[in-house]
């Protein structure tokens, strides 16, 4: 039934026989597209009866069809003022308001139409679209669900419901069931959607979000084959390849997405962050890519004058702001939280800028440790910078760099007199208004400064500490003593395990015949990818019967896997961080290949702090030799198994109190340098 058929049936009953006949004639012309004739008929009815609500409403509908929404609004509101009990009047009022992009009153109009006629499919459907435009995802889902229940054959309702479910699932804390229902609605129907490309993109995104990366990649690939100019598909495919450990392909996808959408700073961040994993990208190339990011995206926001400096007071309490999207259960916050819980409240006042719309129990713990808490995920970069500036922050510390939910364009506006990068990123930001990068002498030895636009601040021992969770078990006996073979292991994500790393590990396995390799990563939960990775390992010289691939396990159980590992192997050029801490705490020694950039020197710093420099190789030949010699020295392995935890606990790596005092001292040194008015220089504490 057409809309005008609905109007004929609904409105002819509202008027007397004579008017009904005139309306029928007018509606017939209206339905045939003879709008001028229909308009004359409606106007004739109004000359006889100026308060005829039906004719006023239909004049409004003609104005709406012609694009004159102001006139449409006037006529339909006059009709409602005369007769407020007709659902159709409110329905078309809602459509006019949508055309005017006034979505809140439009939603109210559709809701009133449904109060008067609750079984109207089109009112439920249009209400859903209005609520979606208002970013009221839950309300949109309710409306689209009603519409779909009224007409299960409607592909439009099916696809709007699915996309609303997926969009809502994207909002933390995230409802995984929303992704699952969206996938179920779209899996066999995306091609029947009014907009198949949009629905297939939504399906691919939902699959990606449910860690079904191979399936998502297939959809993204097909979208690209059909429409190569779809930047979100290239970006999504890059993200899937990233999680699957196919970093060369991921970087290529990011480049393609950026070529299509060169102004998207987030795509550009994905690209520069991806280069850190690239086995063939030189340190200078990594630096240049980050510097270009700063020049292209951040420089346009640099203020003409630096942020104002408060009245000089060398010893006053400093206002330190920490900005992060990771104030929840996340490796960054696991390393960071013990610091702010130990900050001296007389020395620093802590502001936490929470750049994520969800929360968990860890979020609440960070909130309690902070002196001031700010929810900033909904703020754009300019508003975030204004919020930080209004708080009179002295030192702003960014904890995320170019990772997801980056806010470097807020830092580009220099909302604080001093700005610092620390902990959550492993290269320069490339942003000139970020003044310092916090590191240590092992992570950043002399000569590393040339890879940073920031000035390096080298803390005395380490750039971060480690506090084990209560879930960490005690070390067990050396597995090799009962298994009769040495087990090497690596629990880093697959993005770090490229062909060069695997080929080097093949040489270690060849040098230690009675050995196997255990790998555990979230990317191995994907069955198709597990087969792909196993084939890659075989091409790199690792026999299938000498490698075991384990899928992701929850953090509460992950450490138990080290009970089966004798020696950990650190990948490169991006080495382990939290995984290295966990291995060492579990009594598992790590062999690492020293790299130039900080991303490949995290384990180097840990081993140096533990007095285990002999496990740091300077070249690939030494890496193989060290791993082989350690594997053959069962007594040494057994001793490390029993003593590493005690050694770790007594080292700077576990001394959060000392570390926090050193960090506060660094902040004070930065502040004094600023007050002195001299140029920023590297600081060695």
pLDDT digits (tens, 9 = 90+) for 661-682: 999 999 999 999 999 887 788 9
Q: Mark whether 445 and 490 lie in a shared domain.
A: no
The CATH code of the domain that includes 328 is: 3.40.50.11380
Contact 578, 586 (CB under 8 A): no
Any residues with CB less than 8 A from the CB of 121 and at least 6 apart, and which?
A: 147, 150, 151, 154, 157
* pLDDT, tens digit (0-9, with 9 covering 90-100), for 298-328: 999 999 877 777 767 778 899 999 999 999 9
Q: Mark whether 440 and 342 lie in a shared domain.
A: yes
The CATH code of the domain that includes 234 is: 1.25.40.10
Write out the two tokens for 463.
Answer: 């750039």
pLDDT at residue 17 in the model = 52
Domain of residue 555 covers 480-654
Tell me phi and psi for residue 459, to 5 degrees: -70, 160
**Is residue 304 one of the residues assigned to a domain?**
no
Contact 38, 62 (CB under 8 A): yes
Residue 398 CA to residue 437 CA, distance in Å, equals 10
pLDDT at residue 138 in the model = 93
- CA 247-598-491 angle, 5° bins: 55
Provide the pLDDT confidence category of residue 275 given band limits of 50, 70 and 90: very high
**Is residue 287 one of the residues assigned to a domain?**
yes
Q: Mark whether 452 and 485 lie in a shared domain.
A: no
- Find residue 351's DSSP bridge partners: 321, 372
pLDDT at residue 497 in the model = 97
Residue 514 CA to residue 480 CA, distance in Å, equals 10
Q: Mark whether 613 and 485 lie in a shared domain.
A: yes
Residue 385 CA to residue 416 CA, distance in Å, equals 8
**Is residue 306 one of the residues assigned to a domain?**
no
When the pLDDT of each residue in the chain is averaged and rounded to a whole number, the result is 93
| Cα 4 from chain centroid (whole Å) | 47
Residue 252 CA to residue 573 CA, distance in Å, equals 18
**Is residue 229 one of the residues assigned to a domain?**
yes
Nearest to 583 by CA among 616, 606, 605: 606
Task: Write out the H or E segment, with its range, that includes residue 550.
Answer: strand 547-550
Q: Mark whether 505 and 603 lie in a shared domain.
A: yes
Q: Mark whether 371 and 444 lie in a shared domain.
A: yes
**Is residue 110 one of the residues assigned to a domain?**
yes
Write out the two tokens for 500.
Answer: 């060069």
Which of 408, 428, 459 corresponds to the end of one domain? 459
- Find residue 549's DSSP bridge partners: 519
Tell me phi and psi for residue 353, to 5 degrees: -105, 105
| Cα 273 from chain centroid (whole Å) | 13
Domain total of the chain: 4
Q: Quickly list DSSP for 218-239.
A: HHHHHHHHH-TT-HHHHHHHHH
**Is residue 579 one of the residues assigned to a domain?**
yes
Q: Mark whether 241 and 168 lie in a shared domain.
A: no
The CATH code of the domain that includes 605 is: 3.40.50.2000
Residue 9 CA to residue 21 CA, distance in Å, equals 12
Q: Up-side HSE of residue 528: CA atoms within 13 Å toward CB? A: 13
**Is residue 649 one of the residues assigned to a domain?**
yes
Q: Find the farthest-apart pair of alpha carbons in the chain and give their distance in angstroms, rounded.
A: 107
Any residues with CB less than 8 A from the CB of 242 and at least 6 apart, and which?
A: 250, 270, 274, 495
Q: Mark whether 198 and 265 lie in a shared domain.
A: no
Provide the pLDDT confidence category of residue 176 given band limits of 50, 70 and 90: confident
Q: Mark whether 126 and 193 lie in a shared domain.
A: yes
Contact 360, 329 (CB under 8 A): yes
Q: Mark whether 567 and 428 lie in a shared domain.
A: no
Write out the two tokens for 251.
Answer: 């970087």
pLDDT at residue 1 in the model = 43
Tokens 């080290």 label which residue? 562
Q: Is the pTM for the entire model greater than 0.85?
A: yes
Q: How many CB atoms lie within 10 A of CB 403?
A: 17
* pLDDT, tens digit (0-9, with 9 covering 90-100), for 335-345: 999 999 999 99
Give the length of the chain. Answer: 685
Tokens 């309702």 label which residue? 157
Q: Quickly list DSSP for 54-99.
A: HHHHHHHHHHHHHT-HHHHHHHHHHHHHH-TT-HHHHHHHHHHHHH
Contact 486, 480 (CB under 8 A): yes
Q: Which range (51-60, 281-290, 568-577) has the least confidence?
A: 51-60
Write out the two tokens for 270.
Answer: 């994905």
Q: Mark whether 390 and 423 lie in a shared domain.
A: yes
Q: Mark whether 155 and 51 lie in a shared domain.
A: yes
**Is residue 200 one of the residues assigned to a domain?**
yes
Averaged pLDDT, 334-355: 97
* pLDDT, tens digit (0-9, with 9 covering 90-100), for 451-504: 999 999 999 999 999 999 888 999 999 999 999 899 999 999 999 999 999 999
């Amino acid at each position: 039934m057409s809309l005008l058929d609905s109007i004929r049936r609904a409105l002819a009953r509202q008027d007397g026989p004579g008017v009904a006949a005139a309306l029928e004639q007018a509606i017939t012309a209206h339905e045939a597209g003879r709008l001028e004739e229909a308009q004359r008929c409606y106007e004739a009815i109004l000359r006889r009866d100026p308060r005829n609500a039906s004719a006023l409403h239909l004049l409004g509908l003609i104005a709406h069809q012609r694009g004159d929404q102001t006139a449409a609004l006037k006529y339909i509101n006059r009709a409602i003022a005369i007769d407020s009990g007709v659902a159709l009047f409110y329905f078309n009022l809602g459509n006019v308001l949508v055309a005017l992009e006034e979505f809140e009153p439009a939603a109210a109009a559709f809701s009133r139409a449904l109060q008067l006629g609750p079984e109207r499919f089109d009112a439920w459907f249009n209400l859903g679209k209005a609520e979606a435009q208002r970013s009221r995802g839950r309300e949109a889902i309710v409306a689209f669900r009603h519409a779909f229940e009224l007409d299960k054959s409607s592909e439009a309702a099916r696809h709007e419901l699915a996309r609303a479910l997926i969009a809502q699932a994207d909002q933390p804390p995230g409802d995984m069931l929303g992704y699952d229902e969206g996938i179920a609605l779209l899996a066999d129907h995306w091609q029947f959607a009014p907009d198949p490309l949009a629905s297939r993109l939504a399906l691919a995104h939902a699959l990606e979000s449910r860690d079904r990366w191979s399936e998502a990649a297939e959809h993204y690939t097909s979208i690209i084959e059909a429409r190569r100019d779809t930047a979100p598909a290239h970006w999504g495919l890059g993200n899937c390849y990233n999680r699957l450990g196919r970093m060369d392909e991921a970087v290529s996808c990011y480049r393609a997405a950026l070529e299509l959408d060169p102004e998207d700073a987030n795509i550009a961040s994905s690209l520069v962050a991806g280069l850190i994993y690239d086995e063939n990208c030189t340190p200078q190339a990594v630096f240049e890519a980050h510097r270009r990011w700063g020049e292209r995206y951040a420089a346009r926001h640099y203020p003409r004058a630096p942020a104002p400096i408060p009245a000089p007071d060398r010893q006053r309490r400093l206002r330190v702001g920490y900005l992060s999207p990771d104030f929840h259960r996340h490796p960054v916050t696991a390393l960071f939280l013990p610091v702010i819980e130990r900050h001296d409240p007389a020395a620093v006042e802590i502001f936490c800028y929470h750049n994520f719309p969800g929360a968990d129990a860890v979020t609440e713990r960070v909130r309690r440790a902070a002196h001031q808490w700010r929810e900033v995920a909904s703020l754009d970069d300019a508003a975030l910078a204004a919020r930080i500036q209004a708080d009179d922050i002295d030192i702003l510390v960014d904890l995320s760099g170019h990772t997801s939910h980056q806010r470097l364009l807020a830092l580009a506006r220099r909302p604080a007199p001093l700005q610092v990068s620390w902990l959550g990123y492993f290269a320069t930001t490339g942003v000139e208004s970020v003044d310092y990068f916090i590191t240590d002498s092992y992570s950043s030895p002399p000569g590393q400064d040339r890879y940073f636009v920031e000035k390096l601040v080298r803390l005395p021992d380490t750039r971060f500490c480690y506090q084990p969770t209560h879930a960490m078990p005690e070390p067990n006996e050396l597995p090799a003593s009962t298994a009769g073979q040495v087990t090497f292991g690596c629990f880093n994500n697959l993005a770090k395990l490229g062909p060069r790393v695997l080929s080097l590990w093949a040489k270690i396995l060849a040098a230690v015949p009675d050995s196997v390799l255990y790998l555990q990563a979230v990317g191995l939960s994907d069955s198709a990818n597990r087969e792909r990775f196993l084939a890659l390992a075989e091409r790199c010289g690792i026999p299938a019967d000498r490698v075991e691939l384990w899928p992701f396990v929850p953090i509460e159980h992950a450490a138990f896997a080290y009970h089966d590992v004798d020696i950990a192997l650190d990948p490169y050029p991006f080495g382990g961080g939290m995984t290295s801490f966990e291995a060492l705490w579990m009594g598992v020694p790590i062999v690492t290949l020293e790299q130039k950039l900080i991303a490949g020197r995290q384990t180097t710093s840990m081993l140096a702090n533990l007095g285990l420099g002999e496990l740091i190789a300077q070249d690939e030949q030494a890496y193989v030799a060290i791993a082989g010699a350690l594997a053959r020295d069962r007594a040494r392995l057994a001793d490390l198994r029993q003593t590493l935890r005690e050694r770790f606990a007594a080292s700077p790596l576990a001394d959060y109190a000392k570390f926090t005092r050193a960090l506060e001292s660094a902040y004070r040194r930065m502040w004094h340098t600023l007050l002195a008015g001299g140029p920023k220089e590297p600081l060695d504490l």
